[in-house]
Amino acid sequence: MPIRKIVNKQLGELLIEGCVINQQQLDKALTVQKEKGGLIGEVLVELGFVKEEDIAQALTTQYGFPYLPLANYEINPEIVNIIPSRVARQYLLIAIDKVGNNLTLAMSNPLNGHAVEDVELLLGCSIQIFVSTLSDVKGAIEKYYKDKE
């Protein structure tokens, strides 16, 4: 299932329109991205031009994924353990809820269709995605999987 934009604008364009960055900052980030690779959002964060929350909010606007800050969110450990530690760490995602055959995941990169497909195949359930910051997802993985692997 391909992921479709609900707002047909690039991430950088949305950040400029929202007065989060300016054109010069975007140009610098695009140059760094060409040299070193990586996702433009991650490059903008590394350069200190934006906060992770800004990227998560822009992805919410661009693709319609709901945003969920995980820092103060308590997750049932039984839900977390539905996904093996190695899968959570590999794809940087964490299970946050399950109702029937529907599993809700928090991911920093909700556009990683391969990760979603792998989890669907592994668990045989439908996936709903929430966007969280990379720091939040890593923090939750460390918190809930600290004793595993």
89/56 same-domain check = no
- The pLDDT, as a whole number, for residue 7 is 57
Q: Residue 1 domain-assigned?
A: no
58/21 same-domain check = yes
- The pLDDT, as a whole number, for residue 21 is 92
Mean pLDDT by 10 residues, the chain (149 residues): 60 86 93 90 92 87 86 88 93 94 92 90 92 92 82
Per the structure, the complete domain to which residue 33 belongs is given by 11-63
Q: Residue 70 domain-assigned?
A: no
Which CATH number goes with the domain that contains 123? Answer: 3.30.300.160
**Residue 103, class by beta-carbon neighbours within 10 Å (0-12 exposed, 13-18 middle, 19+ buried)?**
buried
- The pLDDT, as a whole number, for residue 87 is 93
- The pLDDT, as a whole number, for residue 4 is 58
91/123 same-domain check = yes
86/128 same-domain check = yes
What domain count does the chain have? 2
pTM comes to 0.79
15/45 same-domain check = yes
C-alpha angle 5-138-123 in degrees, rounded to nearest 5: 65
